[in-house]
């Protein structure tokens, strides 16, 4: 269904919703069924993830049944594919993405395909995830879907999925254009959708995490033409505010400080709120001395011009990968009997920072507290970090002997022995050569699933992973050969790759499996990744070319001819130290090396900072098959909240979608998904019927991958 038939269907939906609501007996009691869309991944421009729909309630949620299942059919064979997208719904049409980064439009009440756009129909493939698409209309006939795949930002006709040829270069623009730096080899994509304000699409990016990464400039594109209307430099240039927080001319080579997690918009004030990540390289800042504005910062920018209005840096000189992980939530609080428009920002560390939306004044006290110094040569860790005094953290921030796992005597003994070799203690203990405990881990605490806020009670609902990781460093000289003789591919792999991808090449934690990589990438593509890095993988450009060929041959089992070195942009000098690799700290049985719960869901009253409730979220499948006890699990994806009194969330390893009473935290309903739902759900209404939909993509934390979207409704 495309073109005119689709438009007729959408008009019939708009006409039918109100009539169906009355016919079903909802009338005025169902406050928003006539406006039952979920038009933005965060529910609305303010990222509340709140719906006024109240057909599904505490009393009837137990009757929810599967309404439809849509299989995308493009899950790559033998790959750890994922779906992290939150579907949007406009006029009865659901728009989202697939594991292969195709955009699909489904009839939202039936889950039937209306159109599909594949950005890689002509060949190629991108390896990153996508967390949703953007809908824009001029209020008349121009209706567009914006999304990103690889380095390109696409504009599609929302009616038929065809590219808007007047946008950019025949329907897309290169995200690298306009950065004023040669980043030919640097990793640059956009995993989270941008935000719309008037006729602007404001877009962030995800960049690499190593030296030579692209800068994190925030750009506003003309929604009609694709031209850049304004740019905000998150790494300041001469004459710009904050330039003194970096070494001289750092902007020429420094990277990161990018907004990868999404943004929020105060439409009435014309303010866009932009959370940023760390500067690169992530774990050693010896070559970027200073506080490093505007990394790890919540920025309030004039949405029309990109002018900075106010900012708050949540981590100074980040050496812990403490990116701001989610778009902030806009809500209204009560202070001394007065209503205050606020913005709440969750963090990986488990903090919630709350500010006056217009002025940036903190609505709870914040202390700058001393933190431990680094013992790595050349590293000057910032001496203090900001700690909000309320709310108290929603995740554990330190680990002692008493916290070490006690699931079995042998597991505790092994974990304790490791614990005594590690540097541990307070939050912000720096990375070290012996390894430092990082709690919450590199993936939070809070993560990209974000939080939801209930405007009825000013309550924020936030889930958290609660497991330790280890940050270990080594001298960069360990990267290359000591003798000058090129090492074999297996030796290079063991020295540089196995800590992340595993000795068996099957992948672990953030690192994907490399088994069968030749089915997915050719030798030239692998060499390009070794030179430039990709996502969380740093660049190995410093390896001798022969060693890069050797390890490529080792991985593919195929002879690799000498390849021309790719053109490189300017890179920073090689750091004195480098990160060993991402390691979740697990016990000898493969469970987190800390006592449960390993994941929680919290409800916090932001009027007072007090907790309404906190519960373990999820049951570890290997531990609770018989007992049913809630151990909590690591999580990806976040909650939504409704006027029906419910909090819906998936996110856990046990592949459940759950509904909780938003007032008490009581579990009211759960359903098993075809694969884990590592995404945030959405809810919508079509012709008077409310649905809840979630992506069941799996593929993380050792769980199998899936390719389905599943929608639930009352009988």
Burial grade of 391 (CB within 10 A; 0-12, 13-18, 19 or more): buried
Instruction: State the virtual CA torsion across 86, 88, 89, 94 in degrees, nearest 10.
Output: -70
Q: Residue 693: which pLDDT band, with cuts at 50, 70 and 90?
A: very high
Nearest of 171, 153, 149 to residue 162 by alpha carbon: 171
Q: What is the per-residue pLDDT for 478?
A: 47
| Local structure of residue 593 (DSSP, 8 states) | S
Maximum alpha-carbon separation in the chain: 82
Do 423 and 436 touch, CB atoms closer than 8 A?
A: yes
Cross-strand partners of 696: 708
Record the tokens describing residue 301, joined without a space: 């920018």
What distance in Å separates the CA atoms of residue 322 and residue 237, rounded to the nearest whole number?
Answer: 23
Percent share of the chain, pLDDT over 90: 76
CA angle 567, 570, 574 (to 5 degrees): 105
Most confident of 5-9, 409-413, 568-572: 409-413
Pairing of strands 50-51, 640-642: parallel
Residues 6+ positions from 450 with CB-CB distance below 8 Å: 42, 47, 49, 261, 262, 325, 326, 327, 329, 346, 462, 638, 680
Residue 479 has pLDDT above 70, yes or no: no
The β-bridge partners of 429 are: none
Whole-angstrom CA distances from 282 to 126, 257, 367, 579 are 23, 10, 25, 8
What are the structural domains of the chain? 132-327 (2.40.128.630), 473-580 (1.10.760.10)
Q: For residue 666, is it left (φ>0), alpha (ψ between -120 and 50) or beta?
A: beta
Q: What is the mean pLDDT of residues 547-558?
A: 84
* Least confident stretch, 413-422, 507-516, 645-654, 701-710: 507-516
Identify whether the C-beta of residue 83 lies closer than 8 Å to the C-beta of residue 674: no
DSSP state of 289: -
Q: Which residues contact residue 72 at a Cβ distance below 8 angstroms, ignoring those fewer than 6 apart?
A: 83, 98, 99, 100, 102, 104, 707, 708, 709
- Alpha-carbon distance 323 to 440, whole Å? 13
Helix (H, G, I), strand (E, B) or coil at 614: strand
For CA atoms 435, 296, 202, 115, give the dihedral sign.
positive
Following DSSP, what letter does each residue of 430-491 receive, concatenated?
PPBSS-EEESSBTTBSS-TT-EEEETTTTEEEEEEE---EEEBEEEGGGGS-SSSSPPPHHH
Region 137-141: what's the mean pLDDT? 93
Round to whole Å and give the CA distance between 85 and 679.
6
Which residues have C-beta within 8 Å of that of residue 464, sequence separation ≥ 6?
350, 394, 395, 440, 444, 445, 446, 599, 600, 601, 602, 635
Distance between CA atoms of residues 171 and 156, nearest Å: 7
Give the C-alpha separation, 179 to 696, whole Å: 36
pLDDT in tens, 208-254: 998 889 999 999 999 999 999 999 999 999 999 999 999 999 999 99
- The confidence band for 22, taking pLDDT boundaries of 50, 70 and 90, is very low
Question: Between the ranges 352-366, 576-590, 622-636, where is the mean pLDDT highest?
Answer: 352-366
- In angstroms, the CA 278 to CA 323 distance is 5
Q: How many residues does the chain have?
A: 715
Whether 202 and 232 have beta carbons less than 8 Å apart is answered as no
Please say whether the dihedral angle defined by the alpha carbons of residues 210, 212, 218 and 223, taken in this order, is positive or negative.
Answer: negative
3-class SS of residue 558:
coil
Query: Please, are residues 143 and 162 in contact by the beta-carbon 8 Å criterion?
Result: no
pTM: 0.92
**pLDDT single digits (tens) 74-109:** 998 776 899 999 999 999 999 999 999 999 999 999
Report how far residue 541's alpha carbon sits from residue 2's, in angstroms, rounded to the nearest whole number: 47
Q: In degrees to the nearest 10, what's the CA dihedral of 560, 565, 570, 573?
A: 60
pLDDT of amino acid 562: 72
The residue among 480 and 257 whose pLDDT is bigger is 257
Question: Could you tell me where the beta strands, DSSP code E, fall in 366-450?
Answer: 366-370, 384-388, 436-438
DSSP state, residue 523: H
**By the 8 A CB rule, do 259 and 232 touch?**
no
Work out the pLDDT band at 199, boundaries 50, 70, 90: very high
Could you tell me which residues come within 8 angstroms of residue 643 by beta carbon, excluding any fewer than 6 positions away? 31, 32, 50, 51, 52, 53, 54, 456
């Amino acid at each position: 269904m495309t073109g005119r038939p689709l438009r007729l269907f959408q008009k019939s939906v708009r006409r039918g919703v109100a009539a169906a609501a009355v016919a079903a007996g909802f009338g005025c009691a169902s406050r928003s069924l006539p406006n039952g869309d979920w038009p933005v991944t965060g529910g609305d421009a303010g990222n509340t993830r709140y719906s006024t729909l109240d057909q599904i309630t505490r009393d009837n949620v137990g009757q929810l049944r599967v309404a439809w299942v849509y299989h995308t059919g493009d899950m790559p064979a033998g790959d750890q594919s994922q779906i992290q997208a939150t579907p949007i719904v406009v006029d009865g049409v659901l728009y989202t993405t697939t594991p292969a980064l195709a955009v699909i439009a489904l009839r939202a009440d039936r889950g039937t395909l209306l159109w599909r756009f594949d950005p890689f129909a002509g060949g190629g493939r991108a390896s990153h995830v996508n967390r949703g698409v953007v809908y824009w209309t001029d209020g008349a006939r121009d209706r567009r879907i914006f999304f990103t795949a690889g380095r390109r930002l696409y504009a599609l006709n929302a009616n038929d999925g065809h590219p808007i040829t007047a946008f950019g270069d025949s329907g897309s623009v290169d995200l690298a254009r306009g950065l004023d730096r040669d980043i030919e080899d640097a990793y640059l994509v956009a995993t989270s959708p941008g935000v719309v304000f008037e006729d602007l699409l404001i877009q962030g990016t995800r960049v690499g995490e190593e030296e030579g990464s692209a800068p994190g400039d925030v750009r506003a594109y003309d929604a009609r033409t694709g031209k850049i209307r304004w740019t905000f430099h998150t790494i300041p240039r001469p004459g710009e505010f904050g330039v003194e927080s970096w070494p001289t001319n750092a902007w020429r080579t420094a990277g990161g400080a990018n907004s990868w997690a999404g943004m929020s918009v105060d439409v009435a004030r014309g303010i866009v709120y932009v959370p940023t990540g760390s500067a690169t390289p992530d774990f050693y800042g010896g070559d970027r001395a200073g506080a490093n504005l505007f990394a790890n910062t919540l920025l309030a920018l004039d949405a029309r011009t990109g002018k900075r209005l106010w900012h708050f840096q949540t981590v100074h000189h980040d050496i812990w990968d403490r990116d701001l992980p989610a778009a902030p939530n806009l809500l209204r609080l009560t202070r001394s009997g007065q209503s205050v428009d606020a913005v709440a920002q969750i963090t990986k560390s488990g903090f919630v920072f709350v500010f006056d939306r217009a002025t940036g004044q903190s609505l709870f006290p914040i202390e700058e507290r001393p933190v431990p110094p680094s013992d790595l040569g050349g590293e000057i860790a910032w001496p203090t970090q900001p700690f909000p005094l309320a709310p108290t953290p929603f995740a554990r921030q330190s680990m002692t002997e008493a916290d070490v796992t006690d699931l079995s005597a042998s597991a505790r003994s092994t974990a304790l022995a490791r614990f005594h070799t590690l540097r541990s203690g307070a939050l912000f203990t720096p990375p070290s050569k012996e390894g430092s405990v990082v709690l919450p881990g590199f993936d939070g605490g809070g993560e990209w699933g974000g939080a939801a806020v209930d405007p009825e009670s000013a309550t924020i609902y936030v889930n958290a992973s609660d497991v330790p990781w280890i940050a270990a460093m080594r001298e960069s000289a360990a990267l290359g050969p000591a003798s000058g003789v090129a090492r074999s591919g297996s030796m290079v792999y063991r020295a540089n790759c196995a800590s992340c991808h595993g000795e068996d090449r099957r992948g672990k934690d953030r690192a994907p499996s490399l088994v069968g990589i030749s089915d997915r990438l050719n030798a030239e593509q692998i060499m390009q990744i070794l030179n430039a890095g990709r996502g969380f993988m740093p660049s190995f450009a410093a390896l001798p070319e022969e060693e890069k060929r050797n390890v490529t041959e080792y991985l593919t089992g195929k002879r690799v001819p000498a390849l021309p070195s790719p053109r490189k942009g300017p890179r920073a000098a090689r750091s004195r130290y480098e990160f060993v690799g991402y390691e979740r700290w697990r016990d000898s049985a493969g469970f987190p090396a800390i006592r449960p719960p390993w994941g929680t869901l919290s409800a916090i009253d932001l009027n007072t900072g007090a907790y309404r409730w906190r519960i373990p979220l999820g049951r570890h499948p290997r531990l609770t098959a018989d007992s049913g006890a809630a151990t909590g699990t690591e999580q990806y994806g976040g909650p939504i909240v409704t006027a029906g009194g419910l909090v819906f969330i998936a996110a856990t390893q046990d592949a459940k979608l759950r509904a909780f009473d938003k007032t008490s935290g009581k579990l009211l309903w759960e359903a098993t998904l075809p694969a884990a739902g590592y995404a945030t759900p959405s809810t919508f209404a079509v012709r008077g019927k409310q649905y809840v939909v979630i992506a069941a993509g799996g593929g993380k934390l050792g769980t199998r991958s899936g390719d389905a979207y599943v929608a639930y409704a009352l009988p």
